[in-house]
Amino acid sequence: MNAKEQGECGDASRGQFNSRLGFVLAAAGSAVGLGNLWRFPYLTYKYGGAGADAGGAGTFVIVYLACIALVCLPLILAEILVGKRGRRNPVGSFNAIRPGTRWNIVGYLGIATGFLILSYYAVVAGWSIEYTYKSLVNEFAGFETAIPDEEAGQALAAEFISSHPGTDDAVALESARTAAGSPEAFNTRLLAKKAELHPQHLFSQFVANPVKQVGYFLAFMLLTVILVLGGVAGGIERGNKVMMPLLLLMLIVLAIRVLTLEGGGRIIGYLFKPSLSTLSWDLVLAAMGQAFFSLSVGMGALLTYGSYLGPKDRIETASAAIPAIDASVALLASIVVCGAIISFGLAMSGSGTGNVFTAIPVIFQSIPGGRWLVVLFYLLVTLAALTSTISLLEVVASYMIDERKMKRTRAVLLSAAAISAVGVICALSFNLLSGYTLFGMTFFDMLDYICSNIALPVGGILIAIFVGWVMRHEEKREELVCMNPIIYRVWNVLLKFLAPAAILAVLIGQFVFRS
Ligand code: PHE
């Protein structure tokens, strides 16, 4: 990926542009993934709820965007800078820049975080393979017979009771039938309910199956291993160059589709109209954690990719492009998933972790061409997840290669095996181990919470302090030769003061004000 020769600040030739594009795409590929397509829509929905006007989703989105602009954006540049200057894995880079100090702890923390994220991330990524398959063989059809009338009727009765509190259980179904107006209208509602329940059943049956959970998880790890074995230029860069543009295109098509649904436009107000009354520490922490997670920042993934840049490669534009691409994909994904949920009035069950898997099939049932669009959608989720898992595995493997002097093959296989051992527990936490919880969280939930909401932000604070306070201006300037002096100053101030203070405030606030 190294650009061989490049003018100081001038235009790069076509060949060099290609290599820089390769880096931007790989870094954006790391950032864009399940964080955008699965986690962001489910969190916006968690805070927004079904009430399209409550403002919770808007508040979440605004706080998330603010975290990206003020905290994560400066951090991305800082993290890539450390990798580019250190030219090694996270531990090695800190060692190279400040030899003999304990700053390499930041690198170790990052590698541990990457290890843990991959172990649960690949579980959900495995779901996307199964869902690509399910959509290909059209398993989402056939809901007319798969769900018995009684069950759909019960669901309608329960809905009636929740919108008409005080209704007697015994008459709720009858009342729902009367309220529908005509027997035909009631039958239509019954059918719609079946179409909605079917994917929920498929999803809960799927996650309850330990063999499938472990199997798909391991399959996804294998895919990741194959790409990472190819190395930086061969596997990672080439894969991303194809997958990233494809993914963006597919998502835009889907978003247009949802926005042109009846009532689809309401999603814009849902996602962007905040309401102060919904602001809470919990929401702010979740939004910040999501910003870190989604941008892959705080654990050395971007640092590692940065280490494959040439000394003269410019990193400012790339650092700005990554959050721009990432936030756009997240917002598009929420338009698709939440837009579909609210314009269809779907009732989502549970915590929403299955939203992408339960809502999407329902939406596509009623869209012309949906039979095939849904295949595209899950393929997109799979590809996006893959461009992220390769960056996670690369962090752990690059450490083994540089610091433990292993051959790439051995390093990749060993890391993947260790990660898989932990991942199996995550995969089983949806079924065999679902009863084992701590603070109401399963092993999977716990890892996700610790990594996103604690480990990544803490890594972020340390990187901000390192680059903001420990590295000298001359060192930083050497890596940012062409950066406008004013922007450089603003960046430095954000990094020195705002980023660490804001992250710390949110982390501490969470414990002090936890309700
Ligand atoms: N950013 C990735 C996503 O949104 C997840 C990830 C986190 C990847 C941290 C690498 C490092 O899916």
The average pLDDT across 79-107 equals: 95
Name beta bridge partners: 441: 438
CA distance 163 to 500: 46
Task: Name residues contacting ligand 1 (CB within 6 A).
Answer: 30-31, 33-36, 117, 293-294, 296, 299, 301, 388, 391-392
| Residues linked to residue 438 through DSSP beta bridges, in sequence order | 441
pLDDT tens-digit readout, 284-301: 999 999 999 999 999 999
What average pLDDT does the segment 311-333 reach? Answer: 90
Q: Considering only CA atoms, which residue is closest to atom 10 of ligand 1?
A: 296
pLDDT in tens, 241-276: 777 777 788 788 888 888 888 778 888 999 999 988
Average pLDDT over residues 56-74: 95
The confidence score (pLDDT) of residue 16 equals: 30
Atom of ligand 1 nearest to the CA of 36: 4
SS3 410: helix
Q: How confident is the model at residue 50 (pLDDT cuts 50, 70, 90)?
A: confident
Q: What value does the CA radius of gyration of the chain take, rounded to a whole number of Å? A: 24
Report the chain's terminal Cα–Cα distance, integer Å: 49
Nearest-CA residue for ligand 1 atom 7 is 296
Q: What is the pLDDT of residue 300?
A: 93
With the most atoms of ligand 1 within 8 angstroms of its CB, the residue from 38, 299, 391, 452 to mutate is: 391
Q: Cα dihedral angle (202, 204, 210, 216), rounded to 10 degrees?
A: 50
How far apart (Å, rounded) are the C-alpha atoms in residues 159 and 177?
A: 12
Residue 4 has pLDDT above 50, yes or no: no
Q: What does the pLDDT read at residue 69?
A: 95
Ligand 1 atom nearest the C-alpha of 326 is: 4
Q: Looking at residue 274, what DSSP letter applies? A: -
> Tokens at residue 387, please?
């461009």
Judged by average pLDDT, the poorest of 2-6, 59-63, 72-76, 161-165 is: 2-6
**Percentage, residues of the chain above pLDDT 90:** 52
Q: 325 CA distance to ligand 1 centroid (A)?
A: 14
The first and second tokens of residue 139, run together, are: 């398993």
How many angstroms separate the alpha carbon of residue 114 from the centre of ligand 1? 9
Can you tell me the distance from the alpha carbon of 145 to that of 231, in angstroms, rounded to the nearest whole number? Answer: 49
Residue whose CB lies within 8 A of the most ligand 1 atoms, among 296, 390, 454, for a mutation test: 296
Q: How far is the CA of 174 from the centre of ligand 1 (A)?
A: 49
pLDDT tier at 236 (50, 70, 90 boundaries)?
low
Report yes or no: 119 and 422 within 8 Å, Cβ to Cβ: yes
Written as one string, the DSSP assignment of 302-338 is: HHHHHTTS-TT---HHHHHHHHHHHHHHHHHHHHHHH
CA of 163 to the centre of ligand 1 (A): 39
CA of 345 to the centre of ligand 1 (A): 30
How far apart, in whole angstroms, are the C-alpha atoms of residue 475 and residue 376?
Answer: 46
- Å from CA of 435 to ligand 1 middle: 28
Q: What value does the mean pLDDT of the chain take? A: 87
CA–CA distance, 131 with 125 (Å, rounded to integer): 10
Residue 14: its pLDDT value, please?
17
Cα–Cα distance for residue pair 322/324, rounded to 1 Å:
5
Q: How far apart are CA 119 and CA 333, in angstroms?
A: 24
Give pLDDT tens digits for 146-202: 888 889 999 888 888 877 888 888 888 888 888 888 889 999 889 888 888 888 889
351-389 residue pLDDT tens: 567 888 888 888 787 777 888 888 988 988 898 899 899
Ligand 1 atom nearest to CA at 295: 1
- pLDDT for the residue 359: 82
**441 burial type by CB count under 10 A (0-12 exposed, 13-18 middle, 19+ buried):** middle
Nearest C-alpha neighbor of 246 from the set 37, 394, 29: 29
* Residue 298 alpha carbon, nearest atom of ligand 1: 9
Q: Which of 113, 117, 111 is nearest to 399 (CA)?
A: 111
Q: Are 452 and 510 in contact (CB under 8 A)?
A: no
pTM for the whole structure: 0.89
295 C-alpha vs ligand 1 centroid, how far in Å?
Answer: 6
Q: Which residue has the higher pLDDT, 490 or 376?
A: 490
Cα–Cα distance between 32 and 389 in angstroms, integer?
A: 11
CB-based contact 246:382 (threshold 8 Å):
no
- The CA distance from 376 to 71, in Å, is 34
